[in-house]
Structure 1
Amino acid sequence: MARVLIAEDEAGIRLLVARALRMEGHDVVAVEDGEEALEVIAAEDGAFDAILSDIRMPALTGIELAHAVKAVYPDLPILLMTGYAEQKEAAESLVRLIHGVVEKPFTLADIRRAIGDVLASYPPRVIADGLRQAG
């Protein structure tokens, strides 16, 4: 299916979301914060179909991550998640950068549906030789 990067500093949420997406058949890479996510994205030359990131994280926030990713990979879809109303409002002003914001708490069905919507809205990413990226 798709290759998804999850950036979430709360271990329980990170593991739960990763497991739920893997059960849907997705290849999932899960990291603890935005800085680590940016390192993985750079090391793998953006080889992901979607990024799911918490907004409030140490080192690099999800909003900062979205800006950094879009500067290099403008076609890489980003979905943010937060449990804070003011962060949701701030993120929604970034419509050019992100696909949307998932409110915490969410159900596994909510997160699966949100990722499904993102993947349905964007064509599969391709690498230089025209093959679909790993996923």
Structure 2
Amino acid sequence: MARILLTEDDDSVRGFVARALAHVGHDVVEAEDGGMALERLAEDGPFDLLLSDIRMPVMDGIALALSVGASHPGLPIVLMTGFADQRERASGLETIVYDVISKPFTLADLVAKVEDALTGKPVEIVPLSRTALG
């Protein structure tokens, strides 16, 4: 399967995500913040995917994505966030960020998003219908 660099400052979330991805066969290398992720990328690479939280100390996921996008332009990046305002910060980064997954997410949602990013499947944009808008 794939080598995934997981960057998440919350120990419990990082542990859950790492176990879930390892359970489906991925090799997961963990980092607690963006600065540590850059070190891991340089020392432990190459990686097939960067999966990172947006809101973190030291270096957040947006700054990490910008740095990784410049230094490793072919590396797919998926960001995670539990904050709507943080998701908005990722807009405009479509050329370097594959997608943003909102927390809380299910194991199935996470695995599907990772698989989509690894295979290069385009992000499905579902248009809102008038009935959905009310």
TM-score by length of 1: 0.87
Alignment of 1:59-78 (within 5 A): 59-78=58-77
Name the structure 2 match of 1:27.
27
- Structure 2: segments with no counterpart, 5+ residues: 122-134
Moved over 4 A (4+): none
**Higher relative contact order, chain-length normalized (CA < 8 Å, sep 6+):** 1
Q: Indicate conservation of the 8 Å contact 1:6/1:29, yes or no.
A: yes
1:92 Cα deviation (Å)? 2.4
RMSD (CA atoms): 1.0
**Number of residue-to-residue matches in the alignment:** 121
Q: Is the 8 A contact 1:92 1:101 kept in 2?
A: no
Distance 2:71 2:104 in 1: 31
Matches within 5 A, 1:32-43: 32-43=32-43
Q: Gapped runs of 5+ residues in structure 1?
A: 123-135
Residue 34 of structure 1 aligns to which amino acid in structure 2?
G
Report the CA distance between 1:93 and its aligned residue. Answer: 1.7
> Identity percentage over the alignment?
52
Deviation at 1:55, TM superposition (A): 0.2
Task: Name which one, 1 or 2, has greater alpha-carbon Rg.
Answer: 2
